[in-house]
Amino acid sequence: MSNVTIRDIKTILTEPDNIRLVIVKIETSEPGLYGVGCATFTQRPTTVAAAVNDYLKPFLEGKNVADIEDIWQSSYVSSYWRNGPVLNNALSGVDQALWDIKGKMANMPVYDLLGGRAREAAPVYVHASGESHEEVGDKVQAFVEQGFHHVRVQMTTPGYATYGNRGAAAGGDTGTNRNTLDGPIAATSWLRDYDSSKNYAHPGGIFEPKPYMRSALGLFEYIRNRFGYGLEILHDVHERIPPILGVWFAKEVEKFQLFFLEDLFSPEDNDYFRMVREQTSTPIAMGELWNSPHEVIPMIQDRLIDFIRIHMSQIGGITPAKKITAMGELYSVRTAWHGPGDTSPVGHAANMMLNLNAHNFGIQEAAIPGERTREMFPGMPTLKDGMMWSNGQPGLGIDVDEKMAAKFPFKEREFGGAWDTVRRADGSMVKP
């Protein structure tokens, strides 16, 4: 089977549980031999599909499926301009599918092709979000009772939109009848009178950094008082606060001993991580918005982050991810691959191949899949005892039910499903 070639490449677009997923399927010249890969960029899914169908497919048909490295490198430069989220996700779908095929041809799971297992299962963290300390705490308690040891905690800032919880939406409670020293700042008419049929930006609510930071610190104190320090807690800033306030926040959370603080700055502000490292030992995770593998190199070399939080399909798949993982090991920087619901089950299966193989694995984000998703993707990794488990089958160990996928096409979405535009009370945009 050494001369097996790519016969066809197609995309499967589906939305089983309200998240748009893009799967690439490569069929080969060997009857019945195929592979699947994740190419999900949920905010621009049809653009990724066009990149696969209109450009990568004609470029790759007839190539030998064994030549994964050459296929990745030549596809990477085939557009000349490169390292954007659309093209990298398209390339990831192809790359993961080829690794799936290689594993099936060898009758081995991909982690064995990478050198075998360094662990039996991958510890994960789950998400607990709520409107109050007690609601978040009760969700944490439920996860602890299910055997989880790592929980990301997020809470609504009263009167404001907060990542992880929507909070005050544009046109909603703007605090106009409150004392602004205690409650939400009154929003401008730009937000208060929002009309989606006339205005240009998708409303994601109102956000102010200092109320958010005070609220988050109060939540951490509550969780530690209720659960002690045996529970590992994590938190995602999601890049929303000004960088200098991020430095202050990282110092303030040190006493709560977070497992890590995630996405403290936007990618445009990476240099601020140097200030954080000089002033606090709070563990830092970063990377889900990085597109190029080269963006992470100085962050690893200078030990400015502790966890690599890259979205694997965003950088082009398993081939670049394994190289980044190896570099991280040399500098004692651990992996924590991005893994929410818009990482498809195929993407989670790909994450698991590196999680089980890499000595410097740190933690894996876990999304609790819906019933339809579990049915559509047989063989997906399972959660038990606070860990994610692979089934040990050849390749990625996962498949997709195409007939079922076709029953759940993309829904129509306002603004094409764009990421919510969050604004400060004066109307200015907040990243991201």
List, by residue number, the catalytic residues. Answer: 163, 238
| Placement of tokens 């008419």 in the chain | 189
Rounded Cα–Cα distance for residues 182 and 327 (Å) = 48
Upper half-sphere CA count for residue 266 (Cβ side, 13 Å): 8
Rounded Cα–Cα distance for residues 400 and 6 (Å) = 19
- Cα four-point dihedral sign 348, 357, 396, 350: positive
**Tokens matching residue 39:** 């190419």
CB 381, CB 390: distance < 8 Å: yes
Q: Hey, what amino acid is at 288?
A: E
Residue-by-residue DSSP string for 197-225? TT-SS-EEEE--HHHHHHHHHHHHHHHHH
Residue-by-residue DSSP string for 134-198? HHHHHHHHHHHHTT--EEEEEEPPTTS-BTTB--SPTTS---TTS-TTTSPPPPPHHHHT--TTT
Rounded Cα–Cα distance for residues 22 and 193 (Å) = 36
CA distances from 207 to 280, 318, 329, 428 (A): 26, 36, 37, 10
Q: Hey, what amino acid is at 169?
A: A
CA distances from 139 to 101, 131, 325, 386 (A): 40, 11, 32, 15
- Cα four-point dihedral sign 249, 256, 276, 299: negative
What are the strands, taking DSSP E only, across 349-425? 364-365, 382-384, 387-389, 421-423
Picking from 293, 285, 288, the residue whose alpha carbon sits closest to that of residue 91 is: 293
Residue-by-residue DSSP string for 230-241? SSEEEEE-TT-S
